Amino acid sequence: MSRWTHRHILDLAAFSREDYAAVLELAHRFRSMPVTGARKLPALQGRLVATLFFEPSTRTRSSFELAARRLSADVSSFSPGSSSLSKGESLLDTARTYVAMGADVLVVRHQCTSVPQQLAEALEASGERTVVLNGGDGLHSHPSQGLLDLYTLAHHFDPLHPLPEALRGKRILIVGDILHSRVARSNLWALTACGADVVLCGPPSLLPSAFAGFVDAPPPGQSVDPVPDRGSVTVSHRLDEALPGADAVMTLRLQKERMSQHLLTDLDRYHRDYGLNHARLERCGKPVPVLHPGPVNRGVEMTGALLDDTGRHSGRCLVEEQVRHGIPIRMALLYLMAAAESSADAALASVG
């Protein structure tokens, strides 16, 4: 396994296939370890992880905090409503306050693209050692969600060896509001890196055809793509034509808070054209799993019956699995960042 080279984790575009393998392998070990109560792992003892969420979150924030605690870190949380931000403090000064309190890791979510990157650059410029983990920035990137989706799919296809190879040649259909989705963008980098062929599907107003070329050029800011042989990306506007042959379907929330104009006429029509239900999934030609990053608009992106079809062995809907996997994936990220100067091999060896 290669050396872990990512000081900050800002965008999966920078990840090589070996990086995905390191995160998935470590997460798989954490997943099967008893890490609650007195049996917490000591890896981050004495370290402080601060979650700075300038946008709402249910899953990401709490699972980062649980992940940090399971590795014995101290945790501090920031919420804009009850902070000095409302008294006019700048975002950078807010971040510096947590650095001054000794934060080793800042997990940052913001409604504007590239805020985590700007914070990382500002902290580096002033010689701080604190690392930044992107908890979701605008439409741009949501690395930990992309990784937990990848793990969930790899685990579904190969429960004993949930590694990037499990995705090779799989056809993964992503349906919905692609335009406003940082999750779709992170999944595009992750899934194609592991050799999956991604089909994007949604109404033309929420899925510009230029998305077909999303991973064609080297990732932004890099002259060479760290993955030389990615899977393909295709665009479709008709769900019933895109379903046959799919090995898994991921559906995305309609991000009304990010829609500046009226991009959809009505939700009933959207559900009729792009909503998932059991009968429609029959078109895949075999039982396929359904994923959604949450929060779900019940009855819009999928029927309530499909959302509730979560039985551990026969259920179609992997939404709860995704939530469960969020913790070991985030443990792996925190662990690797803390061990950034040593090798991923050493990190794995120390977990046993």
Closer Cβ to ligand ASP, 92 or 139, answer by number? 139
Closer Cβ to ligand ASP, 153 or 166, answer by number? 153
Query: CB 174 → ligand ASP: shortest distance, Å?
Result: 12
Question: Alpha-carbon distance 218 to 152, whole Å?
Answer: 27
Closer Cβ to ligand ASP, 183 or 332, answer by number? 183
What number of chain residues touch ligand ASP (CB under 6 A)? 8
Residue 183 lies near ligand ASP (rule: CB under 6 A): yes
Residue 142 lies near ligand ASP (rule: CB under 6 A): yes
Residue 156 lies near ligand ASP (rule: CB under 6 A): no
**284-303 positions binding ligand ASP, by CB under 6 A:** 293-294
Instruction: Let me know: does 249 contact 223? Beta carbons within 8 Å.
Output: no
Closer Cβ to ligand ASP, 164 or 293, answer by number? 293
Closer Cβ to ligand ASP, 7 or 258, answer by number? 258
**303-322 positions binding ligand ASP, by CB under 6 A:** none
Query: CB 245 → ligand ASP: shortest distance, Å?
Result: 26
Phi then psi for 330, rounded to 5 degrees? -75, -30
**Is the backbone peptide bond immediately before 143 cis, with ω within 30 degrees of 0?**
no
Which single residue brings its beta carbon nearest to ligand ASP? 253
Closer Cβ to ligand ASP, 183 or 276, answer by number? 183
Query: CB 314 → ligand ASP: shortest distance, Å?
Result: 26
Query: CB 74 → ligand ASP: shortest distance, Å?
Result: 25
Residue 182 lies near ligand ASP (rule: CB under 6 A): yes
Residue 328 lies near ligand ASP (rule: CB under 6 A): no
Tokens 């920078």 correspond to: 14
Closer Cβ to ligand ASP, 135 or 195, answer by number? 135
Question: Using CB under 6 A, which of 30, 43, 136, 247 touches ligand ASP?
Answer: 136
Query: CB 242 → ligand ASP: shortest distance, Å?
Result: 20
Residue 185 lies near ligand ASP (rule: CB under 6 A): no
Closer Cβ to ligand ASP, 155 or 182, answer by number? 182
Instruction: Let me know: does 235 contact 211? Beta carbons within 8 Å.
Output: yes
Query: CB 149 → ligand ASP: shortest distance, Å?
Result: 11
Query: CB 177 → ligand ASP: shortest distance, Å?
Result: 8
Instruction: Let me know: does 176 contact 274? Beta carbons within 8 Å.
Output: yes
Question: Alpha-carbon distance 14 to 219, whole Å?
Answer: 7
Closer Cβ to ligand ASP, 236 or 255, answer by number? 255
In angstroms and rounded to an integer, the radius of gyration of the C-alpha atoms of the chain is 20
Question: Alpha-carbon distance 152 to 324, whole Å?
Answer: 9
Residue 253 lies near ligand ASP (rule: CB under 6 A): yes
Contact track, ligand ASP, 50-89, x by CB under 6 A: ----------------------------------------
Question: Alpha-carbon distance 91 to 118, whole Å?
Answer: 10
Dmax over CA atoms of the chain, in Å, equals 57
| Residues in touch with ligand ASP (CB under 6 A) | 136, 142, 182-183, 253, 255, 293-294
